[in-house]
């Protein structure tokens, strides 16, 4: 067979290589990515900036990964067009493929804002190069930052910059932080933790206009900054598939083997839609574990095997200054039973909470803040859609323990092969 070609060099791409190599040890794989670096962990760009990890620890796989897996790389090259059995690079070069994976991830979404062109030090904080560039500015004396967008990426950038001693202001159109993941109570806890560590929030407003180093907000405030981070949102990179005539909805559409509607073309990761089994609908799940699992499933299929990826659920593990949040499934659902409990410290202050959301005889979502140990036991109940008739619900509400399962489960799972 002809080469496998993968566009992208991140979690989904690496999952695909590892999936292919389960079945096919020989056929060459070509990875094409417009980023010049060997595969690195995208989430670690904030940890690198904050000094929480070192540059040489940000790489997602070891140095020999490509040679060990018979992968050749074309880095710093952009795919401009997808043809029936080849891709065309922006240089004009054509690379033929037998099977292709599109793992192009997402791109930042920057709404039009007056005067943005005047700002020199602006970044979207989506890649290693932006992290390195901001690092350079801070090292050279940048003292203040404005972050537009209080989602995961914006707040991770805020944490990193605060750790570097930079004065950080975060603004968002929404009235709370991380609105897509957290309810009001959870959101308030995260905001408070960041505030305790120096962050200033201006919520419920937008930037109207920019000068080179000043933002004028709609509410009348004026914020000066040395560095501007635009983290309003991300959108899937679907153009290549769309222009080639493949089906695209919110993201690239695939079947459960990650195949697109185009012959021999698969897609995985942030650029695709996934069927969220907890919400019962297609969604963009722009998360690293999802990207890897989809990539791996695609790789196995491309190599002729079958590994359906049909248990996609939203899930998040995030932390800011030691306050951890773990959530999974449809945790914002309000039409079913909800079990909620606050977690307090010795003086009675609320430090976190537990919220379990139930659907038709099953757990469909949860949020744990501060006390997050063994959360995966809950995730598993959701992922496997375990019937509540098979578990001890009182035990389940108390804490995530395997004791909630019956004896036969324990015999099978703890006593046998899993």
Q: Which residues bind ligand FAD (CB under 6 A)?
A: 7-13, 32-35, 42-43, 45-46, 78-79, 103-106, 125-126, 152-153, 156, 237, 240, 269-270, 286-289, 291, 318
Closer residue to ligand FAD in complex, CB, 11/170:
11
Strand order in the sheet with 323-329: 315-320, 323-329, 362-369, 350-359, 338-344
401 binds another protein (CB under 8 A): yes
State how far the alpha carbon of 136 is from the alpha carbons of 130, 141, 244, 323, in Å: 10, 9, 40, 28
* Cβ partners under 8 Å of residue 86, min gap 6: 94, 95, 96, 97
Q: Choose the one of ligand FAD, another protein, none that binds residue 81, judging by a C-beta under 5 to 8 angstroms depending on kind.
A: none
CA-wise closest residue to 295 among 264, 271, 268: 268
Nearer to another protein, 142 or 313 (CB): 313
DSSP E strand stretches across 250-314: 265-267, 274-276, 281-283
Comparing CB distances to ligand FAD, the nearer of 4 and 125 is 125
Q: Which neighbouring-strand residues pair with 207?
A: 217
d(CA 386, CA 389): 8
Which residues face 197 on adjacent strands? none
Torsion sign over Cα 59, 60, 64, 66: negative
Q: Applying CB under 8 A, does 416 fall inside the site for another protein? A: yes
* Minimum separation from the CB atom of position 15 to another protein (A): 7
Q: Of 240 and 315, which CB lies nearer to another protein in the complex structure? A: 315
Q: Is 233 in the site for another protein (CB under 8 A)?
A: no
Binding site partner of 126, from ligand FAD, another protein, none, Cβ cut-off 5-8 A by kind: ligand FAD
> CB under 5 to 8 A by kind: which of another protein, ligand FAD, none does 52 bind?
another protein
15 binds another protein (CB under 8 A): yes
CA distance 139 to 12: 33
Q: Does 25 bind another protein (CB under 8 A)?
A: no
| C-beta of residue 252 within 8 angstroms of C-beta of residue 292 | no
Size of the site for another protein (CB under 8 A): 48
> Which residue shows structure tokens 């695909």?
16
Say how far residue 157 (Cα) sits from the centre of its chain. 14
- Give which of ligand FAD, another protein, none residue 25 binds (C-beta under 5 to 8 Å, depending on kind): none
Within 307-336, which residues bind another protein (CB under 8 A)? 315-319, 322, 324, 326, 328
- Minimum CB separation of residue 239 from another protein in Å reads 26
CB of 19 to another protein, least distance (A): 10
Backbone phi and psi for residue 277, each to the nearest 5 degrees, phi listed first? -70, -20
Q: Which residues bind another protein (CB under 8 A)?
A: 11, 15, 41, 43-44, 47, 52-53, 57-61, 288-289, 292-293, 296, 315-319, 322, 324, 326, 328, 372-377, 379-380, 383, 400-403, 407, 410, 413-418
């Amino acid at each position: 067979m002809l080469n496998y070609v993968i566009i992208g060099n991140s979690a989904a791409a690496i999952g695909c290589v590892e999936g292919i190599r389960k079945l096919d040890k020989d056929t060459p794989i070509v990875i094409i990515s417009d980023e010049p670096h060997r595969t690195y962990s995208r989430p670690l760009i904030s940890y690198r900036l904050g000094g929480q990890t070192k540059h040489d620890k940000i790489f997602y796989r070891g140095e020999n990964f490509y040679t060990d897996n018979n992968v050749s790389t074309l880095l710093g090259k952009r795919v401009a067009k997808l043809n029936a059995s080849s891709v065309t690079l922006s240089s004009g070069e054509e690379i033929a493929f037998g099977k292709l994976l599109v793992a192009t991830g997402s791109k930042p979404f920057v709404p039009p804002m007056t005067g943005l062109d005047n700002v020199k030090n602006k970044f979207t904080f989506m890649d290693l190069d932006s992290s390195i560039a901001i690092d350079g500015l801070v090292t050279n004396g940048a003292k203040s930052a404005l972050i537009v967008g209080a989602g995961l990426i914006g707040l991770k950038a805020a944490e990193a910059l605060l750790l570097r001693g930079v004065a950080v202001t975060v603004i968002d159109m929404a009235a709370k932080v991380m609105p897509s993941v957290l309810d009001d109570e959870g959101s308030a806890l995260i905001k408070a933790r960041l505030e305790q560590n120096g962050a200033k929030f201006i919520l419920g407003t937008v930037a109207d206009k920019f000068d080179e180093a000043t933002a004028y907000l709609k509410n009348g405030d004026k914020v000066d900054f040395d560095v501007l981070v635009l983290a309003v949102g991300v959108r899937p990179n679907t153009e290549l598939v769309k222009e080639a005539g493949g089906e695209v909805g919110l993201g690239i559409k695939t079947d459960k083997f990650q195949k697109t509607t185009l012959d021999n073309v698969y897609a995985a990761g942030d650029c695709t839609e996934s069927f969220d089994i907890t919400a019962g609908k297609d969604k963009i799940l722009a998360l690293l574990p999802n990207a890897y699992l989809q990539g791996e499933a695609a790789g196995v299929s491309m190599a002729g095997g079958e590994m359906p990826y049909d248990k996609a659920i939203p899930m998040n593990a995030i932390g800011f200054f030691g306050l951890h949040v773990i959530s999974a499934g449809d945790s914002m659902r309000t039409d079913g039973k909800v079990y909620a409990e606050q977690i307090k410290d010795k003086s009675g202050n609320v430090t976190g909470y537990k919220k379990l959301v139930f659907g038709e005889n099953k757990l469909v979502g949860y949020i744990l803040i501060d006390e997050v140990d063994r959360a995966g036991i809950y995730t598993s109940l959701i992922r496997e859609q375990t019937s509540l008739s098979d578990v001890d619900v009182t035990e389940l509400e108390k804490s995530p323990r395997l004791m909630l399962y019956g004896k036969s489960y324990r015999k099978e799972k703890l006593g046998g092969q899993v």
